[in-house]
Amino acid sequence: MDRICCIPWNRRKVFKALGVIPVMLTLALFGWSLVGYTMSILPLIHKESSWLAVLLGALIYALWVLSAWSYIGCVFVSPGNPVVAGSQAGAGAAESSSFSRNGPYIRVPSRTVESARTRADSSVRMADDQESQSSEESARGSFDNGNCSDNDNTPLNEEQMRRSEFMYAITVKDNGEPRYCLKCNLPKPDRAHHCSVCGVCVLKMDHHCPWINNCVGFNNQKPFLLFIAYSTLYCLDIAVTSLVFYLRLIFNAPGTAEIDITPLFLIILSLAFTMALIGFFGFHIYLTLNNLTTIESYERNNFRQEHDSRGSGKKHVNLFDLGAKKNLKQIFGPRWSLWFVPVRTQVGNGMRFPISYKNYNELRHN
């Protein structure tokens, strides 16, 4: 993923604009399915039993609302990027204004260079609106001393990378070097990857989904999983009830009676989507229980080991796997009553992740 070339900004805008088409198609299918079920299937059920029609209708409408709610969260919630997360983690207003002047990203300052950061903040506050040459040299000097300003838009050198807060990351490249995005000019936090379509680094990136025209990442992973779950149940409910009552209509109808074909389309589409979604949902449940992303499932992480100056590591142990229960709580939150509601309840900010020391000891002794 790190080697994918970034799509030029003009082409990227075209791709993002075209990405609205699958979103509109999905919303249209959701709307049509609900209308078709209400107009064609519920009357058939009502002829058999009115209370059953009310029960199944309430179930379908509840699943539709939850599916649509989750889908909107997938589309419109940002998956998260190091800039926003780093700013919310403690970067001050002066830092944000200084570090983002030459691009969309900032670097989170090192916790070990508080004095250098304080001097940089003082120089920023004293700078005038014209940002004179002296203030530029002062800011660049602070950067060279370990601060994280990016006035000349050049990548961090080895010493600056070592002092950067992102050096606390435990994942490294195949050659043991720190992970760094040359497109965003930004050290990568653990589990973050660059999306060539969105043009940004995404926290805990799972994949870029064309059906939501967005990346699935740290902030919208929960609504994405709930969308798959509720959509699977929604399509399965439509498929089963439509098939049962439509077959009964065909067998009980006179030979010359006209039969509505709308339920037939509902059955075909709902069965097709159900089969696809069940496999997709099962795969993502497996990833969730093992605390993996789609990218990590085929491109396992290299982990930096303690007292290893080269930063080399091995791929065969997943340090982020804390056990199924804790893995679920990371995404859905500590309160199980909110697990099934597509609202923000995930633990952390996507920059740091707890590790399993049992797996870490296994990694060290392999």
> 260-295 pLDDT, tens per residue?
777 888 999 999 999 999 999 999 999 999 999 999
Buried b (16+ CB within 10 A) or exposed e, 154-167: eebeeebeebbbbe
Query: Model confidence at 304, in pLDDT bands (50, 70, 90)?
Result: low
pLDDT greater than 90 at residue 30: yes
pLDDT tens track for 307-324: 554 444 555 678 899 999
pLDDT tens track for 46-103: 888 889 999 999 999 999 999 999 999 999 999 998 876 555 554 443 333 333 322 3
Mean pLDDT (whole number) for 236-248: 90
- Of 29 and 113, more confident: 29
pLDDT greater than 80 at residue 123: no
pLDDT at 253: 66
Is 5 one of the catalytic residues?
A: no
pLDDT at 117: 37
Nearest 10 degrees: CA dihedral of 117, 118, 122, 124?
Answer: 20
Which residues pair with residue 186 across a beta bridge? 181
Residue with tokens 């939501």: 212
Contact assessment for residue 316 and residue 323, using Cβ atoms and an 8 Å cutoff: no
Mean pLDDT (whole number) for 122-149: 36
**Residue tagged active-site, from 201, 209, 215, 235:** 209
CA distance 5 to 17: 20
- Of 124 and 218, more confident: 218
Percent of the chain with pLDDT over 90: 40
DSSP helix/strand/coil, 241: helix
Contact assessment for residue 66 and residue 230, using Cβ atoms and an 8 Å cutoff: yes
What is the pTM assigned to this prediction? Answer: 0.74
